[in-house]
Amino acid sequence: MKVENGYNVQVHYKGTLNDGTEFDNSRVRGQTMGFQVGSGKLIRGFNDALLGMTPGQVKVVNLPAAAAYGHHDPDALQVVPKEAFGEGFVFKLGETVQGSGPRGTFLAKIEEVRDSEVVLDFNHPLSGQDLTFEIELVSIESQVAAGTWNKSMKKAELFAIAKQSGLKVNTKTTKAQLISALEASA
């Protein structure tokens, strides 16, 4: 069986920077990473590298910044008054801080410390970096179970269910056509 969008998989991976520095490794943590391919929860380049893989296969993929965490965005720098931090907070250049704002919790790096304010960088720490991933597909756990679908699902999920159900569909089949085919087969 080959991986397609909508499949649930377990992978081991190692991520490195261009200079060989390892920034993440599932084997070091002793735990595979599971997710649904095509769900949008992973960076596009990593997700796309899995398509067509079979269990046990290992692939090395080099991702330019645009296919990884994007380019460093200068608009993601924000000046914040020091008073926004608790009394006695020690500001260290390059340190990561966590806080909460109108959009929920966030992580940011202290980019610059001024007299009464601090400049925070809200870019992902790996933005602007080309990344290399060594990916091992450990298993394809299952596809979304046939019969457990709804109209609000993404096209990729509906497509996987339709294929698993043996329906004659292809990648050009529209979401509306997939829903119609699934309803007819129920």
| Torsion sign over Cα 15, 18, 23, 25 | positive
Phi-psi region of 118 (alpha: psi -120 to 50; beta: other; left: phi over 0): beta
Q: Is 54 exposed, middle or buried (0-12, 13-18, 19+ CB in 10 A)?
A: exposed
Backbone angles phi, psi at 119, to 5 degrees: -100, 120
142: how many CB neighbours lie within 10 A of its CB? 10
Q: How far is it, in rounded angstroms, from Cα 181 to Cα 186?
A: 9
Q: What does the pLDDT read at residue 146?
A: 53
**pLDDT value for 73:** 96
The per-residue pLDDT for 142 is 56
pTM here is: 0.69
pLDDT for 5 equals: 87
Q: What is the pLDDT along the chain (186 residues), one digit of tens a residue?
A: 899 888 899 999 999 999 999 999 999 999 999 999 988 889 999 999 999 999 999 999 999 999 999 999 999 999 999 999 988 999 999 999 998 878 888 899 999 999 999 999 999 999 999 999 999 999 987 555 555 778 888 888 888 788 777 788 888 999 999 889 888 876
- For the chain, domain boundaries: 1-70+127-143, 74-121, 145-186
CATH class of 74-121: mainly beta
Beta bridge partners of 11: 33, 137
At the second CATH level, the architecture of 1-70+127-143 is: Roll (3.10)
Instruction: Residue 169: count other Cβ atoms within 10 Å of its Cβ.
Output: 19
